[in-house]
Amino acid sequence: MNAKELFGKALIAASSAQILLDAGDVDGACNRAYYAMFDAARAALLASGLDEAAVNTKTHSGLISKFSLQLVKSGQVSVELGKSLNKVEDLRLMADYKGDTVMLEDAAWAVNQADIFVKTLSKTFS
């Protein structure tokens, strides 16, 4: 997938996150919010000039590390956006695997952060 396609996929996931949140599905909202951010991060890395092989890491933590090193540390993306990606990943892991209850306000924060993240990166890197 190219950057444009990934940004499109990220926008759809961010919209889905809001729909799930509105329906009261906090776990699903956290999942979609994270994947919106994940796809936007991949798109931004591709758009910044990294080749596809470098972007398609085997792990989520690998991609997040690459995003931090290539785009946050270089100043192309704010530290706040980098931190929000890590925090939303933590919420997604809670929702999907740990069985801990994600609070509604935390899910709402994640959905909002995903919206900001996707829109900011798509404007910056498109």
Distance CA 52, CA 79 (A): 24
d(CA 109, CA 13): 15
Q: Which domains does the chain have, with CATH numbers?
A: 3-125 (1.20.120.330)
Distance separating alpha carbons of residues 27 and 20, to the nearest angstrom? 9
Q: Which candidate, 32, 24, 17, 36, places its Cα nearest to that of 104? A: 24
Query: Average pLDDT of 67-71?
Result: 94
Answer whether 0.85 is exceeded by the pTM: yes
Per-residue pLDDT band for 12 (boundaries 50, 70, 90) equals very high
Cβ atoms < 10 Å from Cβ of 23: 10
**pLDDT tens-digit profile of 22-61?**
999 999 999 999 999 999 999 999 999 987 877 777 789 8
Mean pLDDT of the region 8-19: 98
